[in-house]
Amino acid sequence: MFTPKDQHELVDVFRRSQHRGLFGRDALDMMEGVLQVYDMRVRDIMIPRSQMEVVDRSQPVDQFLPMVIETAHSRFPVIDGDRDKVVGILLAKDLLQNFDPDHQQGFNLRDVLRPPIFIPESKRLNVLLREFRTSRNHMAIVVDEYGGAAGLVTIEDVLEQIVGDIEDEHDIDEVESMILPRNDSEFVVRGHCALEDFNDYFDTDFSTDDYDTVAGFVVAAFGHLPRRGEHVEAHGFRFEVLHADSRRVHLLKTERLSEPARAAES
């Protein structure tokens, strides 16, 4: 009996089995997603610190309540004056259960805070998912090597790597959620990010005549549907596939090339 030697051969077995009709395409994509979650790390999918919707514990409730209502999130990091200092997690349901609009002075934010869970950027997603399940937490604060908050990650972010995007009525495809900066030269870009938005963000002029999304452009640059870990250099950028299944590219690490690297590419 044929025994796969590595993950790539195992995926090939899955794809041949799906082609023979043993299971559907959605099942195949989820199988591939499960395998890739074992290789991906928190830094690959986290929401950067600059994009976190936070509550400052020194704010009176009437100042942060409009933001809670507008964003419609179920959980919010609570900071102590600085986004580096996350001191708790506010659950929207705790706020609703304890806040009386007619007696705002009696509400104390500190009384309803949940303790935050801190994890390193390097933690593997499969380990994080197991911890989410056992601890019954749905959000963790990601910390960098100096102990400061680097971002946040939720159980939904992890599950989306397996089952695909989970969208609700509050999700909006804004550029900020499509392109997540890691530093000045490195970004994580969702495959279905509009190429036109990519051009606006990076001040590039990639043609939108043939492709609507970044994934379409990158697949064309590869010349085939790439696997996770493959990379290609094109037009001054290096694109590395972080997450892909048998149908599409979901997540890309995108890096601006230095001038010498651009010259070598040319």
End-to-end CA distance of the chain: 47
Q: What homologous superfamily does CATH list for 40-166?
A: CBS-domain (3.10.580.10)
Contacts of 232 (CB under 8 A, 6+ apart): 218, 221, 222, 226, 238, 239
CATH for 174-266 is 3.30.465.10
Cβ atoms of 239 and 231 within 8 Å: the answer is: yes
Stretches in the chain below the pLDDT threshold 50: 169-173
Contacts of 202 (CB under 8 A, 6+ apart): 237, 256
| Nearest by Cα to 252 from 199, 216, 223, 211 | 216
pTM: 0.73
pLDDT at res. 132: 93
pLDDT at res. 219: 93
pLDDT at res. 213: 93
Q: pLDDT for 163-185, tens place per residue?
A: 877 655 444 445 567 888 887 88
pLDDT at res. 66: 87
Which residue, chain included where needed, has tokens 């064309």? Answer: 220
pLDDT at res. 71: 83
* CB atoms near residue 134 (< 10 Å): 8
The encoded tokens of residue 30 equal 């989820």
pLDDT at res. 202: 93
| Domain layout of the chain by residue ranges | 7-37, 40-166, 174-266
**Torsion sign across C-alpha atoms 179, 180, 183, 186:** negative
pLDDT at res. 169: 43
pLDDT at res. 201: 92
* CB atoms near residue 247 (< 10 Å): 13
